[in-house]
Structure 1
Amino acid sequence: MQAVLDSLFSPEEEPYILSCMAYFMMFMAFCSFIALLKLHVPYGRYASSTYGFPVNVKFAWFVQELPAILVPFLLVFSTPAAKVSLLPNQLIITMYFCHYVHRSLLYPFLIRGGKPTPFMSFALAVVFCVYNGYMQVRHLSHYAEYPEGWVTHPCFILGSVLWFFGWIVNMHSDHILRTLRKPGETGYKIPRGGMFEYVSGANFFGEIVEWAGFALAAQSAQSLAFSIFTTVVLSSRAFSHHKWYHEKFDDYPKKRKVLIPFLL
């Protein structure tokens, strides 16, 4: 792995490359924000043959998310990752892995039913997971430096609490969505319980909070870019879901917000 990276750029160039990748992701977040004002992300209930042939949803989730674990794993364990021995770096990398172990190795096999994923969405997700997995973990494992006692700093503590809260909300909301239908049932139902009592996009809310906490703890352009990109994409999905729920169900809770409890 290190030989491949050395053939692409020198150790002196890589920090600059990682910074450029972060700023490019911020730029793509802005472009995505503009595009998503008019377009639906083509997945699930919004899937369309316009975006390529359908891919089995379990296969798609497993394969598209797997690079987010494999690439960082190789970076940590098959390259001289000097910063991995430092506690702040270890803890922040662990946050990253906790999310993607669940998302790629557990979540796909828990899906019940689910509509196929258009190939274009699947392919773009693979590219994103390779890109982001390298950017996040390469920076944390090789270049990120934190002041002594960073794990007791208010930013790290608050970021860790936010990350954990968002991680739990995200997983619990996914569980609620999976168990909406009883065996043999079809069709859509109104999700209830947990954060769904307050917002339509409870799973999206959880993931947005999770990566905002990650960015606060990591204090890097890379983590900030990921948090911004996640917020843009998932906010769009939350608004689309909220609108769809109101159109689909006459008895949809009127006081339930879109994404931020009691506010939005």
Structure 2
Amino acid sequence: MDALLSRLFSSEEQELLTLDRMAHILFFMAACTFLTLLFENVPYGRYASSRYGFPVDARFAWFVQELPAFLVPLCLVLWTSSAKTSLLPNQLLIAMYFCHYVQRSLIYPFLIRGGKATPVISFALAFVFCVFNGYMQIRYLSHYAEYPAHWVTHPCFITGAVLWLVGYLVNVHSDHILRNLRKPGETGYKIPTGGMFEYVSGANFLGEITEWAGFALACHSVQSAAFAIFTAVVLSSRAVAHHKWYLAKFEDYPKSRKALIPFLF
């Protein structure tokens, strides 16, 4: 894989500049996505539409689209000269990333019960994003990111790591609640209860936003910041859409429950 990278980039300086430009592209995409989502929901799940192509089975779509976010970084760590992977801060940050995507790509898709098919365009865009972001995050952390020797005891790292862990646990627990809303043979939607769903409609989205915000704080890089902001834009829009949908569908939906931020929003 080093041979491939050497063909793509004439020097490490050029690759690092490319990684920075990729982050700037993601910032731009976050802004464009924010404007787009003011007028339309992300077209998957309950908002899937035939306008975005033929449907792809939900389990297959989630597995295939998320897999590059695991496999591309794995190849970078195992089969390139990963100069920084021997350093503790880099190891811990890479472990945070892999912990999420092992669960999201290798476990979560096989736990899905039913689930609406994903339009092929949404599926393809998610696949491309996972390739793009997986390379950007892990190539930077494994080969270029430099931290002070005491970084793991720095307040930014500790706070970020705690936020990441809390967000990860909320995300996984909320997914578990959603999967178990229906008993075998049941169809239709139900009001989720328990965990952070007692406070917000988008508990799973709140968990993932918190997770990557913590990761960005611990990483202290433009690449991780771009990822956190893009994630927040997409998932906050989805949380608001879910909240409005629940209020319209269920007359007994808890009026005190917020969309994304407990007690506030």
**Range of TM-score over shorter length:** over 0.9
Q: Give the TM-score normalised by structure 1.
A: 0.99
Asked if residue 193 in structure 1 is aligned to residue 194 in structure 2, the reply is yes
1:92 corresponds in structure 2 to: 93
- Count of aligned pairs between the two proteins: 264
C-alpha displacement at 1:4, in angstroms? 1.1
1:8 corresponds in structure 2 to: 8
Q: Distance in 2 between matches of 1:4 and 1:31?
A: 32
Consecutive unaligned residues of structure 1, counting only runs of 5 or more, are: none
Cα deviation 1:187-207 (Å, max 9, x = unaligned): 000000000000000000000
Cα deviation 1:150-190 (Å, max 9, x = unaligned): 00000000000000000000000000000000000000000
Q: 3-state SS of the aligned residue for 2:85? A: helix
Q: What amino acid does structure 2 have at the position aligned with 1:121?
A: S
Cα deviation 1:218-254 (Å, max 9, x = unaligned): 0000000000000000000000000000010000000
Q: What amino acid does structure 2 have at the position aligned with 1:259?
A: L
Identity level (%) = 73
C-alpha displacement at 1:5, in angstroms? 1.1
Q: Distance in 1 between matches of 2:135 and 2:3?
A: 15
Q: What amino acid does structure 2 have at the position aligned with 1:5?
A: L
Consecutive unaligned residues of structure 2, counting only runs of 5 or more, are: none
Q: What amino acid does structure 2 have at the position aligned with 1:33?
A: F
Q: What amino acid does structure 1 have at the position aligned with 2:94?
A: I
Q: What amino acid does structure 1 have at the position aligned with 2:67?
A: L
1:176-255 alignment, distance < 5 Å: 176-255=177-256
Q: Distance in 1 between matches of 2:29 and 2:109?
A: 27
1:140 corresponds in structure 2 to: 141
Q: Distance in 1 between matches of 2:224 and 2:49?
A: 32
Q: What amino acid does structure 1 have at the position aligned with 2:65?
A: Q
Cα deviation 1:114-168 (Å, max 9, x = unaligned): 0100000000000000000000000000000001110000000000000000000
Q: Give the TM-score normalised by structure 2.
A: 0.99
2:118 corresponds in structure 1 to: 117
Q: 3-state SS of the aligned residue for 1:40? A: coil
1:159 corresponds in structure 2 to: 160
Q: 3-state SS of the aligned residue for 1:147? A: coil
Q: What amino acid does structure 2 have at the position aligned with 1:140?
A: L
1:24 corresponds in structure 2 to: 25
Q: 3-state SS of the aligned residue for 1:183? A: coil
RMSD over aligned Cα atoms:
0.4
C-alpha displacement at 1:12, in angstroms? 2.1
